[in-house]
Amino acid sequence: MSLISSKVVAITGASSGIGEATARVLARRGASVVLGARRTDRLEQIADDIRDTGGTAATCAVDVTRLDDVQRLVERAVSELGRLDVFVSNAGISKIGPLSDLDVAGWSAMIDVNLRGVLHGIAAALPVFQRQGHGHFVTTVSVAGLRITPGMGVYAATKNAVRTVLETLRLESTDGAVRTTSISPGFVSTELDGTIDDPALRAEIRRNMDDFGLAPDGVAEAIAFAIDQPAEVEIGDLTIRPTVQG
């Protein structure tokens, strides 16, 4: 039997892309999912689909830059489903462009969502995990932090900062109660390009996504693999990219 069955999983950025795919994959395997994002109409549609096929799903309006929103997501899981086993931090934005653009607002937005949003997830879920004696943080990072690319300096910096935070949390949690997993996707066909302001750069990223980007389900399966391990096994890092990506 899958160890995913009966787990309670909260997911941010769950209204599309990797977050949506993760919710659907985990629900098909018996997990109860609590979906968080800003687009509540889209969340309700996904939750209805899951319920229509016999799954368990709840929704919560979440802006990950607001700690109280993320805390409410965790509280929803605990109050309605009795506990929280896994917290998937997936919300992210990509305000990419050359540093010479001096897009201070875009830099701040990426720091707020990509880094502060993950920290808010830890702040909200860690007390629950410690109280329960178990829990698992799964976080969508990016290959952008593994291979430095012009135009992605601050975006990659936020992702590498998240890697540092998760590795620190792992080292502080070697009693076995809390597991951490970083998922680093390459090009995946999602809506992330919609957060890029520069039209030419946005078109280039969209073209790459369409030409060879992975389906979000591929990343969702990797997330499921990490979750579906015995309690004493921690999958620390997984890199998932198209075979043709350089």
Residues classed as catalytic: 155
For the chain, helix, strand, coil in percent to 5 are 50, 15, 35
**How many Cβ atoms sit within 10 Å of the Cβ of residue 29?**
18
| Spatial CA neighbour of 33 closest among 80, 69, 92 | 80
Q: Say whether 137 sits in a helix, a strand or coil.
A: strand
Q: Whole-angstrom Cα distance, residue 226 to residue 228?
A: 6
Q: Whole-angstrom Cα distance, residue 240 to residue 93?
A: 19
Half-sphere exposure in the Cβ direction for 54 (13 Å, CA): 3
Amino acid residing at 211? D
Token pair listed for 119 = 């920290």
**How many Cβ atoms sit within 10 Å of the Cβ of residue 230?**
7
| Spatial CA neighbour of 157 closest among 208, 197, 99 | 99
